[in-house]
Amino acid sequence: MTKERINWQLGDIARMKKPHPCGSVDWRLERVGMDMRLVCLGCGRELKLPRRDFEKRVRQKISPAEQ
C-alpha cells in the first residue's frame, strides 16, 4: 500500500498520530525540504525531523485557513 504524497508548504499545520507530551497533536511547519522543522502549537517547542520520518508520523494536513 503506497501512501499519497502531500504537498507541504511553509505555515501548513500537520496533525500527528501521537500527541506531544504537552498534549497537542498539531504542529506548524517552519522549514520544508529534506528536513522538516516543526513548532508545537501547544507549547512552542521546535522539532527537526528528516522528511521520511515526518511523513511516517503525520496523520493529516490542516491548511492555515481552516484554523
What is the total count of domains within the chain?
A: 1
Nearest 10 degrees: Cα torsion 40, 44, 48, 51: 30
State the residue range of the domain holding 40. Answer: 13-66
Model confidence at 53, in pLDDT bands (50, 70, 90)?
very high
The pLDDT of residue 67 is above 60: no
This prediction has a pTM of 0.84
Output DSSP code: residue 34. S
User: Is the per-residue pLDDT at 48 higher than 90?
Assistant: yes
What is the predicted pLDDT for the residue at 66? 54
The answer to whether residue 8 is domain-embedded is no
C-alpha to C-alpha distance for 48 and 37, rounded to whole angstroms: 4
Residues 4-36 have pLDDT tens digits of 678 889 999 999 999 999 999 999 999 999 999
pLDDT of 3 higher than 80: no
Residue corresponding to grid cell 528528516: 50
Q: Is residue 42 part of a domain?
A: yes
